[in-house]
Amino acid sequence: MITNKTLKLSLKSLREFAKKRLPDQTLIELDARDECPLEIVHHMCSPDKLGIQLLFVPEEFGGMGGGAFDVYCVCEEMARIDLGVATAVLATFLGSDPITVGASPEQKKLWLGRIAEEGILFAYGATEPEAGSDLGALRTTAEPVSKDGRVVGYKITGNKQWISNGGIADAYTVLANTPGGPSWFIVEKGAKGFTHDKPEDKHGIRLSNTAALALDNVYVDLDRLIGGVEGQGLNQAQAVFGYTRLMVAAFGLGAGWAALDRAIPYSTKRIQAGAPLSEKQGYTHKLIVPHVARLEAARASIEETAERIDAGEGSLNTEGAIAKYMATEAGNLAADASIQALGGYGYTHEYIVEKIKRDVRITTIYEGTSEIMEMTISRDRWQLHLKTRGQHYHEQAKKFEALHASNPNVGADSAALALHALAEVMERSRVARLTRYQHILLRLGELIAYAECAGSLARRASALAENKLNEKANRRFDATALAAVSRIFAREAALKVAEDGLRWVIGAGGVSDAELATFETALGLPAIHRAQAGLISDMDYVADTLYSRAAKRKEVAA
Ligand SMILES: Cc1cc2nc3c(=O)[nH]c(=O)nc-3n(C[C@H](O)[C@H](O)[C@H](O)COP(=O)(O)OP(=O)(O)OC[C@H]3O[C@@H](n4cnc5c(N)ncnc54)[C@H](O)[C@@H]3O)c2cc1C
């Protein structure tokens, strides 16, 4: 267990190290040279230096035993520094996850021990040229090698594509087909027949090393088969999805905020039409505030999921998918808006936001694309909808109506409207058999993510107001401001679920002209429209908070 004090100290050392060793000019130069700063990555991972991996390795293997919440906090901080370096450092955790989940005690002791004691770097080799989103199409094979009628090792042959740390890792976890099914193997750098390609010339995260791997009859002993039993590979990969998706969610969150945190101070100094841009509502309410609301909704989903994983509720794949989907999509939008917020300067390398935008782009692709997240979310919640005969989201909505009764400030009423509307859209999709259209299934995934995040943020805002928030939780906003952020997002979610839902249901021929008025009423559209009242003043309040004007305005009013 990592205490809050230790976590905060580690984050502080990380920030101070980055300030010294990775100032903007260095980042710009490394990005231009397309160079992974290997010495810095090693420094961050070395146990006698920053030792970031110590945070994540279980205590019994020489680490500090951090949980999902700690991982989220570190990933967000790393992403704020540089997403390429973050990818290089965190690839070791991704790479060692199959070991953490599925290895034998001896394997864990050896490999997790080496990560903790030697700071070795790992890479995670799942993707192949023809097996990306569909890992079932895996072609790499691991052929058993027998001696005296007993399997003593394997010969691995195949190609891996887009592997983070592919050219710099000391050890690799490689997914390969055995006679018993897909299995993870540990392959060390320098093994005979094992080579990597030159680094990919990428759009972003150019401070990370990404390379293809080639395995030509690479022999490994039996003790390199993770867990010692064939055919566990996909289950082992599945078992950590909730956790690893949270890492990438935190990357999206950190990068999105890093961009906004450059746009916000910039706008206080940039004078146009006689006043700073920060004073212009058409600027803040388009380019800053909505992105803050979406990022904080995603944060709420990340924090809740991390807490639940740490409480032992399982791997929470769907919740991890919701968090990843919302945070990475929001991070991309925020970074894009930040370029706009800096105008022509935003379009140059010097101001960094264009680099952040290029970097954050990867987060909706790796560790499961956004479309795969939509599918994952939708399929799982569809089953819940069927199992509860359409009542799941109505039941959830009632909980938010109750929350609204006890705390009327946190947007729980709008979150409830979003969830009721979602239940209606899903039920209409069931009656009209609309999920036979893949597009409808995936759009439902998006609407589910919005509605659930509205709920998470309302709960989080309420917990903050009642002083019940996890001590490690982010406290950028006070309770009044977070409630306003929550109301803004919940209104957006309710409107999106109802209007997009209506659009797709009508678009797929799921409602006749005669039924339309009844369906619109069931969606609660008039109530959702009425709930938009107060939106602009909430946005004003959040803008005032972001620009530290809230206290001043209160003083003036008094
Ligand atoms: C910089 C970088 C680093 C990476 N690091 C690693 C790593 O360390 N280890 C590793 O194993 N992999 C890594 N990857 C691979 C990454 O996880 C894959 O690129 C990703 O899973 C998508 O696979 P793909 O590229 O083959 O795209 P595809 O699966 O071919 O997808 C292409 C597009 O089609 C969509 N799509 C796919 N299937 C469907 C479907 N059924 N229905 C609807 N739409 C669909 C996708 O969402 C996407 O938009 C990395 C990739 C990059 C670019």
The tens digit of pLDDT for each residue in 233-277 reads 999 988 888 789 999 999 999 999 999 999 999 999 999 999 999
Residue 488: both structure tokens together:
């803004």
Q: Which two tokens stand for residue 490?
A: 């919940």
191 burial type by CB count under 10 A (0-12 exposed, 13-18 middle, 19+ buried): middle
Instruction: Please tell me the distance between residue 134's alpha carbon and the centre of ligand 1 in angstroms.
Output: 9
Overall average pLDDT of the 205-223 stretch: 98
Share of the chain above pLDDT 90, in %: 95
Residue 551 confidence class, pLDDT cut points 50, 70, 90: confident
Q: Using CA atoms, how far apart are residues 337 and 331, in angstroms rounded to an integer?
A: 10
Asked if pLDDT for residue 530 goes beyond 70, the answer is yes
Assess whether pLDDT exceeds 90 at residue 303.
Answer: yes
Task: Please report, for residues 13, 136, 145, 150, the alpha-carbon distance to residue 181 in angstroms, rounded to integers and kept in the order given.
Answer: 44, 10, 16, 18
Provide the pLDDT confidence category of residue 554 given band limits of 50, 70 and 90. Answer: low
- Residue 125 CA: nearest ligand 1 atom is 11
List ligand 1's pocket residues with C-beta within 6 A: 91, 124-127, 132-133, 162-164, 202, 205, 210, 362, 365-366, 369, 371-372
Q: What sections of 466-512 are H helices per DSSP? A: 479-507
Q: What is the pLDDT of residue 558?
A: 65
In this prediction, residues 148-168 reach a mean pLDDT of: 98
pLDDT at 457 over 80: yes
Tally of CB atoms within 10 A around 265: 11
Write down the pLDDT at residue 553.
67
How much helix, strand and coil, in percent to the nearest 5, is found in the chain? 65, 10, 25
Pocket test for ligand 1, best of 365, 377, 378 (most atoms within 8 A of CB): 365
Mean pLDDT of the 174-199 span: 98
Mean pLDDT for the chain overall? 96
| Residues recognised as catalytic | 367
d(CA 287, CA 333): 9
How long, in residues, is the chain? 558
Ligand 1 center to 375 CA (angstroms)? 14
Report the residue among 92, 96, 127, 139 best suited for mutation to probe ligand 1: largest number of ligand atoms under 8 A from its CB.
127
According to DSSP, the β-strands at 141-147 and 150-164 are: antiparallel
| pLDDT grade for 3, boundaries at 50, 70 and 90 | very high
pLDDT per position as a tens digit, 105-123: 999 999 999 999 999 999 9
Q: What is the pTM of this model?
A: 0.97
Band of residue 283 on the pLDDT scale cut at 50, 70, 90: very high
pLDDT of 178: 98
What's the pLDDT at 556?
Answer: 64
- Residue nearest (by alpha carbon) to ligand 1 atom 12: 127
Return the best residue to mutate from 85, 89, 133, 184 for the ligand 1 pocket (most ligand atoms within 8 A of CB).
133
- pLDDT above 70: percentage of residues in the chain: 99
Span 91-110, pLDDT tens digits = 999 999 999 999 999 999 99
Q: Where does the pLDDT of residue 169 fall: very low under 50, low under 70, confident under 90, or very high at 90 and above?
A: very high
pLDDT tops 90 at residue 423: yes
Give pLDDT tens digits for 325-367.
Answer: 999 999 999 999 999 999 999 999 999 999 999 999 999 999 9
What does the pLDDT read at residue 557? 66
Longest dimension (CA), the chain: 89
CA dihedral 274→278→279→283, nearest 10 degrees, is 100
Provide the pLDDT for residue 240: 81
Q: What is the pLDDT of residue 379?
A: 98
**Ligand 1 mean position, distance from CA 390 (Å):** 33
Residue 555 has pLDDT above 90, yes or no: no
